[in-house]
Amino acid sequence: MKDEVFRGLRRAWQVFFLLLFLFLLLATTSRLIRGYPVEWFLAIDPLAAVSTALSTHALHGHLWWAAPLVVLTLVFGRFFCGWMCPMGTMHHVLGFLLRSKRVRERLERNRTRRSRAVKYAVLAAMLGAAFAGSVQAGLLDPIATTWRALSVSVFPALSNATGGYYQGERRFTWSLVAAGVFYAAIALNLVYPRFYCRVLCPLGALLGVLSKLSLFRIVRRAEACKDCDVCAADCAGAADPAGTPLATECMLCLNCTSACPRGAIAYRFLPSGEGTSQTTDLSRRRWIAAAAAGVALVPLTRASAEAEPRPDPRRIRPPGARDEPAFLALCLKCGACMKACPTGGLQPAATEAGLEGLWTPVLVPRIGYCEQACVLCGRVCPTGAIRELAPAEKVGRPPDVEPVRIGLAAIDRGRCLPWASDTECVVCEEVCPTAPKAVYFKLETTTLRDGSTRVLRRPFVDPKLCTGCGVCETRCPVFDRAAVRVTSTGESRSTVNRVILGGRI
Amino acid sequence: MGSENGIGRRALLRMAGTGAAAAATAGLAVALSRRKVDAAPAPVRMRDHRVERPSGSVQLAVSRGPDAAANVQRAIAALGGMGAFVRKGEKVVVKPNIGWNRTPAQAADTNPDVVAWLVREAMAAGASEVVVCDVPVNDADSCYERSGIGPAARAAGAKTITPADGGFRDVEVGGKVVRVASVLAPLLAADRIVNVPILKHHGLTGATMALKNWYGILGGNRARMHQEIHPALVDLALMMKPTLTVLDATRMLAANGPSGGNLGDVKKLDTIVAGTDEIAIDSYGAGLMNLNASDLGFIVQGEKAGLGRADWKSLKVVETNG
């Protein structure tokens, strides 16, 4: 029967897009990336496009890909949720596995609830915040959340356990917390299927709002319907198909059309929208209140000390990152850069970037450094928060052409072996990748404890040459807290976070 | 429930089940409390990879010419051919310097054509398997690819193993300053090891050549070796006892070593120095860098420890030009 075929088609597309998503995510590594457009799922995300357009008044990189998706949603409804969204597919599968055999229970789990209005409030707050210059959509956006969770928690854990995929162990700061939204969302399927999609997802809410204008809808013909409620037993969106189907909630899973014994439910071209409903259940006052809250949160969060102009020294941004206000107006916290970084140095910020910068990328040289020849983070960033650098641009040509600096190394003479204990070392000088080296040494004669003398190489850092890559800190043999450490000062992208006089006051 | 015959079958089965569970519990408790928590595996020893060479053999071969692979071929031929070092069926490890994420032109890693030719020679001599491996400083995948060594070695028939894939084992070094070291495991399985360093300037040791190339077999917190670098290098060399050493001086990194980066620091020497005496080879290499071998601690201490002869001129040397 035709409806069964279409539902089968939906399932096939769900599987296809989930596999595509996983493939692109797994390909986001220096060894496998080749020419694949790994950031595609993030680039087509309308919530990312709308948020960054609101905050920067421009669409960056490939975010224009969201436009066709918006247009298709205006025509067909929330097909993305039912056919494409990888997180949606995971929820759908879990909901299916956990489903009860009894129709009564399924009807209860899939009934339309008032709580569906919450996601619209979430959307309004996020758009409000974006309007005020801070993109926080990535906290709850399903694509960003799933990408982040798989990148910093699930795949590293799998790789560490099996020894495959990554070279060596891969760990991320507070990874369970950074992936917490994802895990919580998955667990919420125990309450009822697709809880996240129905109650929290701001992307679903956006697509739901767009679906108010959809030309194709699920409609119930009352004269043919015998009120058996079978259609509502497996409704993925809890869209009330047995009553007046809600175009704002319907995910086009086509379970209803397949289940109806009378053909009373169908997906039709209905330019007038008659016979369907399209409310959000969120009153205008609450829309405004939520948006206003989103707007207000921005200056409130920024009134804390972590914001510019004196940043946390640990806030070392990836090379090619825009200056901080622009960065926070663009970063989706998707973790694509963290996934791509070959050394695992890019980590989700916990406190380094303040509350607003939670889970945005920072370099932690103690864990991994920035490979001089690598520009992957900028290449995979979907919003242009990190610009893709040309390798020659990143390295520069001292002293004529400035390199891209992300910070400055400083020798801790109280811990450094040649300084603190008259012991030979200079691994930092050895591994420094710039030519001439930013870490250099001076030969100094010292008197040892027993009175004899020794000539030692003692390291210094030349701030005109240091790019802050952090390899010195990563390789320093003082294992727990390195004797040479990088902080964010000197970063090229900032006009205030500088040390050396470079012409500009 | 019982029947007229006394205890029913169901009750009997129940008692048997409980009894079995009780016996299992007791047995498990006894067995588990007997187990000793395993200590880490004891360090193993590295084999001696040297071959017996008839007296009067050529000990040092120097080849110069525009074709790096041809230089290697002539040098090996002068030493008696690879067949004199590798026997049929043996496992060979070719250990280049793949330490840095650099291109061949930047002369931070061994020339890929040199590595590839040595792999071919070993395969032609009948090796059952040739492995190319190293423990880089930068990201391993990037280093193996960008240096060209990974693709060239594989094209020549070798297996490339990165540290994450190969793993590490604790090895008994038994030296003066290094007693136990964490070593890249594929090296322990080798019958023959060919050391293929590149000639470079080094801030700490003055130059990095054959002895310093053994730093690349180490994992753990190897950076601590720098505290007593010269005796540590001698300790490692005494442990390794390689079959053959081939010093790649096709390009020499003359300054800002060992990582380099500036093409202006690279000098094209188009030379290969091969032999069985690591000290002699390093001494020859020092000369190529206009350094005095007697100024380099690892050469002086290495000779004292019996690793070889710094006065390479006293050996049987063959020089060829291509």
B103-137 pLDDT tens trace? 999 999 999 999 999 999 999 999 999 999 999 99
Task: State yes or no: pLDDT of B138 exceeds 70.
Answer: yes
Is residue A425 within 8 angstroms of chain B, CB to CB?
A: yes
pLDDT at A17 over 80: yes
Cβ separation of A436 and B256 shorter than 8 Å? yes
pLDDT at B3 over 70: no
CA distance to partner chain A, nearest, from residue B83 (Å): 36
Average pLDDT estimate for B166-170: 93
Report the run of H or E that residue A446 belongs to, with start and end: strand A439-447
Averaged pLDDT score across all residues of chain B: 94
Mapping DSSP onto H, E and C, the string for B117-157 reads HHHHHHHHCCCCEEEEECCCCCCHHHHHHHCCHHHHHHHCC
Say if the Cβ atoms of A479 and B260 lie within 8 Å: no
Q: What average pLDDT is seen over chain A? A: 93
What confidence score (pLDDT) does residue B42 get? 81
According to DSSP, the β-strands at A439-447 and A408-411 are: unpaired
Output the pLDDT for position B188.
95
DSSP code of residue A268: E
Task: Give the up-direction half-sphere exposure of residue A38: CA atoms within 13 A in the CB hemisphere.
Answer: 27
Q: Which residues are paired to A72 by β-bridges?
A: none
Chain A residues with CB under 8 Å of B138 CB are: 371, 471
Copy the structure tokens of residue A181.
């939204």
pLDDT tens digits, one per residue of B37-47: 766 778 899 99
Instruction: Provide, as residue numbers in chain B, all residues whose Cβ is less than 8 Å from the Cβ of A437.
Output: 203, 256, 259
Show Cβ contacts of residue A289 under 8 Å, excluding neighbours closer than 6 positions: none
A31 chain-B contacts, CB cut-off 8 A: 141, 145
| pLDDT, average across residues A418-429 | 95
pLDDT tens readout for residues B58-91: 999 999 999 999 999 999 999 999 999 999 999 9
Is A343 in CB contact (< 8 Å) with chain B? yes
How many residue contacts between A and B have a Cβ separation below 8 Å?
Answer: 87
Residues of B in contact with A417 (CB under 8 A): 227
Q: Which of A163, A429, A435 sits opposite B203 (nearest CB)?
A: A429
Q: What is the pLDDT of residue B6?
A: 65
Q: Does A439 touch chain B (CB under 8 A)?
A: no
Our CA-based measurement puts residue B287 at a distance from the nearest CA of chain A, in whole angstroms, of 22
Instruction: Say what the pLDDT of residue A498 is.
Output: 85
**Which chain B residue lies closest to A471 (C-alpha atoms)?**
B138
Which residue of A376, A395, A428, A437 to mutate against B (max B Cβ within 10 Å)? Answer: A437
What share of chain A in percent tops pLDDT 90?
86
Pick from B139, B203, B260: CB nearest A435: B260
DSSP B192-231: EEEEE-EEEEETTTEEESTTGGGGGGB-TTGGGGGGGHHH
Q: A271 pLDDT exceeds 90?
A: no
> What are the tens digits of pLDDT across the range B5-29?
667 888 899 889 999 999 999 998 8
pLDDT band at A177 (very low <50, low <70, confident <90, very high): very high
- pTM for the full model? 0.88
Residue of A166, A394, A430, A440 to mutate for B, most B C-beta atoms under 10 A: A430
Chain B CB contacts of A342 below 8 Å: 139, 141-142
Strand B60-64 relative to strand B266-275, pairing: antiparallel
Q: Look at residue A270 in the predicted model and tell me its pLDDT.
A: 83
Total residue count of chain B as it appears in this document: 322
Given a contact cutoff of 8 angstroms between Cβ atoms, the answer to whether A389 and A467 are in contact is no
ipTM of predicted complex: 0.81
Q: Which residue of B has its CA nearest to A424?
A: B227
CB burial string A35-47: b at 16+ within 10 A, e below: eeebbebbbbbbb
Lowest mean pLDDT among A30-34, A272-276, A362-366: A272-276
CB–CB contact B141 A342 (8 Å):
yes
The predicted pLDDT at position B29 comes to: 87
